Amino acid sequence: MTDTAFDSLALKADLLSNLASLDYHQMTPIQGQSLPHILAGKDVIAQGKTGSGKTAAFGLGLLQALDVKRFRVQSLVLCPTRELADQVAKEIRRLARSIHNIKVLTLCGGTPFGPQIGSLEHGAHIVVGTPGRIVEHINKGRLKLEDVNCFVLDEADRMLEMGFQPDLETIVAALPAQRQNLLFSATFPAQINSMAKNIMDAPEVIKVASTH
């Protein structure tokens, strides 16, 4: 049997000790199947239903790759709605509690531009946002993505349903060609496959049918 304890992974010691303090000991199935590939730097497509622990799967991947001493946007996470982006940012901050001075910034529609622009001027390591607002910041020249090494599409099925495909294409065009792509989704419509073909590099495909 494969070991499903978090401490079987080559995660940084501060991430592992924080996981223990959060009472995260065993990986969920989707975490166990995706994290070895994510930590190896591969592109991953992972399908699993709500509550299967997808946020920590990509969150630990991007935190492991992050260099907190470089105050640049190194990870970009896209979510379909502001509520989901807020939840994801909250979970990433929890997973990152042991990393001093880490800045996770949310950039979503339905909130004023002014404070977001101020926060961007201040800087961030990780940006979590909704596609429309991220495109607006790119077009205004406020969001620099040249240091992004990890790009995450969370709830990709919902983003496509909501008509975000053109925004996703604009965002991908603004990212460095060399990057890791992680795509998470509860369902796997054909449109996801064709999008994945365009933006990903030989992805590992993981499907977890049940929660346990």
Q: Are the C-beta atoms of 2 and 20 separated by less than 8 Å?
A: no
Q: Binders of ligand ADP: how many residues, by CB under 6 A?
A: 13
Q: Between 34 and 74, whose beta carbon lies closer to ligand ADP? A: 34
Which residues, 82 to 141, sit near ligand ADP by CB under 6 A? 91
Whether 78 and 152 have beta carbons less than 8 Å apart is answered as: yes
Assigned token pair, 88: 């994801």
Distance in Å, CB of 55 to ligand ADP, minimum: 3
CA dist 131 → 15, 113, 182, 202, 205 (Å):
29, 15, 16, 24, 24
Q: Give whichever of 31 and 106 is closer to ligand ADP, judged by the CB atom.
A: 31
Report the residue from 9, 18, 33, 54 that binds ligand ADP according to the rule CB under 6 A. 54
Which window, 17-25, 49-57, 124-132, 185-193, contacts Mg ion (CB under 5 A)? 49-57
- Whether the CB-CB separation of 96 and 43 falls below 8 Å is answered with no
Residue 52 in contact with ligand ADP, rule: CB under 6 A = yes
The minimum distance between CB 71 and ligand ADP, in angstroms, equals 27
* Residue 54 in contact with Mg ion, rule: CB under 5 A: yes
| Spatial distance between the Cα atoms of 183 and 200, rounded to a whole number of angstroms | 9
Alpha helices in the chain (DSSP H): 13-21, 29-39, 54-65, 82-95, 113-122, 131-139, 156-161, 165-173, 190-199
78: partner contacted, choices ligand ADP, Mg ion, none (Cβ within 5-8 A by kind)? none
Q: Which residues bind ligand ADP (CB under 6 A)?
A: 24, 27-28, 31, 48, 50-56, 91
Q: Which residues bind Mg ion (CB under 5 A)?
A: 54
